[in-house]
Structure 1
Amino acid sequence: MGGVQSVTDQDFASEVLAAEGPVLVKFTADWCPPCRMLAPVLAEMAVEQAGKLKIVSLDVDVNPETQAAYGVLSMPTLMVFKDGEPLRSMVGARAKARLMRELDDLL
């Protein structure tokens, strides 16, 4: 079970803001090499953290409203939301171990 789900400007509120528990949003773009490097890391985490952490991906080129609403300027930006509020923002690709450490207090 699990996996990284794609979200859009249209379903961001229902899939992220209204979700129960923490949601990690990867703001990404097709033209972004670090975003592609991060994809398998997040796919693994989505399976391992299923039930504890929901992980979704938002393509900023197709969904500019959500990107603008949260002031996301660099790809990839990882933002953790809980109860409809952004709790943490991290810019750039990172190793799985480092990312898990950075999320530890939120899980």
Structure 2
Amino acid sequence: MKVLEKMNKVELEEKLAQGNYVLFFTAAWCPDCTFIKPAMPELEAEYADYEFFLVDRDDNIELCQDLMIMGIPSFVVYRDGKEAGRFVNKQRKTKQQIQEFLNDIK
């Protein structure tokens, strides 16, 4: 999974202008993020039509604020530069919950 460099919302939308993306918002200190990280390679393989980016909340705090990411781990899907869906809250997420979220986007 690629790591998203530090950027603002305008830069993000330009970077994601074409294609399908899943942004995985996380932080090294977050136990619920650590819980789901082992499942991420499987999710990337299962949803190969999306490019996945890991977004470190601490490196991109302003971006998280602009996108209203108030809890982690969280997931936001972009299609051609526009937000297509979000799974954002402070609760632990399972692989099955993320699959259900991504299936609902398709």
Q: TM-score, normalised by structure 1?
A: 0.79
- Supply the AA of the counterpart residue of 2:44: A
Q: Give the conservation status (yes or no) of the 8 Å contact 1:46–1:55.
A: yes
Write out per-residue CA displacement over residues 31-87 of structure 1, whole angstroms, 9 at most, x where no aligned residue. Answer: 10000111111221112322x122111101112221122011111111111121222
State the Cα RMSD in Å.
Answer: 1.9
**CA distance change for structure 1 residues 14 and 43 in 2, over 3 Å: closer, same or farther?**
farther
How many residues are treated as equivalent by the alignment?
101
Write out per-residue CA displacement over residues 78-106 of structure 1, whole angstroms, 9 at most, x where no aligned residue. Answer: 11111212222212332222221221132
Give the structure 2 partner of residue 73 of structure 1.
Answer: 70
Equivalent runs, 1:55-66 vs 2, <5 Å: 55-66=52-63
Q: Percent identity?
A: 24
Report how far residue 30 of structure 1 moved.
0.9
Unaligned runs of 5+ residues in structure 1 are none
Report how far residue 13 of structure 1 moved.
4.2
Give the secondary structure class of the aligned counterpart of 1:25. Answer: strand
- Supply the AA of the counterpart residue of 1:84: G
Q: TM-score, normalised by structure 2?
A: 0.80
Task: Provide the C-alpha distance between the structure 2 equivalents of 1:106 and 1:71, rounded to a whole number of angstroms.
Answer: 19
